[in-house]
Chains A and B, each alone.
Chain A
C-alpha cells in the first residue's frame, strides 16, 4: 500500500541548532516533493519544492534533499529560532496538481 511517513510527530531542539525532519514514502513515484509550514489554526504555507532529478535545494536557512532510491526527503533548518516552531508537512506530487500529504512533524525550538 502507499504510505508517506514523517519521522516523528514532535521534535524539540535548542535555539541555534539544526533541525532535521524526515519524510519517507513507499509505493509512490513522485515527480517532485514539497515542504510546507503550518501554524496552529492556519492553512499551510509553501516553503520549498524539489524535483526528482534534483539532489538538494536551498533557500536561506532551509535545505531540502531528495533521494529517490531511498524514497526519502530530509528537511533541514539551520540556526533554528523559536519563530521556526510550527508543524512541517511534506507533500508528494501525484500529477494533475494533486498532492498527498504526510501527517507532519511539530517542531518546537526552545530559547
Chain B
C-alpha cells in the first residue's frame, strides 16, 4: 500500500522558535497533500491544502503567515510553524492523495506531536 512518512514524530521547542515538519510520499507521487491539526479526543481539523508548484490554500481561520506550507516536489510537503507559542502545541498530521486516479482514499502520515514550552 501507499506509504506516507512524516518527520519528526515528536518535537519540543521553546516559545518563539520555528519548527519544520516534513511529509513525504514514499512510493507514489502526490500532487495534493493536506495538513491537519488534531486536538485530544477530537477529529482532524483541515488546516490547508498543499498543491505541488503552487501556493497552499488555507482554511478559514488558519493564519498563513503562522503556518507556512511548501510543496516543492511531487513527494514532499513541509509545514513550518513560525514563532511557535504554547497554544500551537498539538498533533499535526499530513495526508496525501496519489497523482494517478485512485479510489479516493487518503494516505496519512504518522503524525507529529509538537510541544512548545
Contacts and interface: CB of A to CB of B under 8 A. Distances in A.
Contacts of B34: 97-98
Counting chain A CB atoms within 10 Å of each CB, the highest count among B97, B104, B111 belongs to B104
A37 B44 CA distance: 13
A4 to B, nearest CB: 8
B43 A46 contact: no
A57 B44 CA distance: 24
A93 interface: yes
Contacts of B46: 98-100
Contacts of A34: 104-106
A98 B106 CA distance: 9
A89 to B, nearest CB: 6
Interface residues of B, number: 24
Interface string B72-96: 0000000000000000000101010
Contacts of A96: 32, 49
A14 B110 CA distance: 29
Contacts of A36: 108
A44 B104 contact: no
A43 to B, nearest CB: 4
Secondary structure call for the A interface: strand
Nearest to B113: A41
A77 B37 CA distance: 28
Interface in B31-58: 32, 34, 41-44, 46, 49
Interface of A: 9, 32, 34, 36, 41-46, 49, 89, 91, 93, 96-104
Interface of B: 4, 6, 32, 34, 41-44, 46, 49, 91, 93, 95, 97, 103-111, 113
Given A41-B91, A44-B95, A44-B108, 6 more contacts: A43-B110, A44-B44, A49-B103, A97-B104, A97-B106, A103-B43
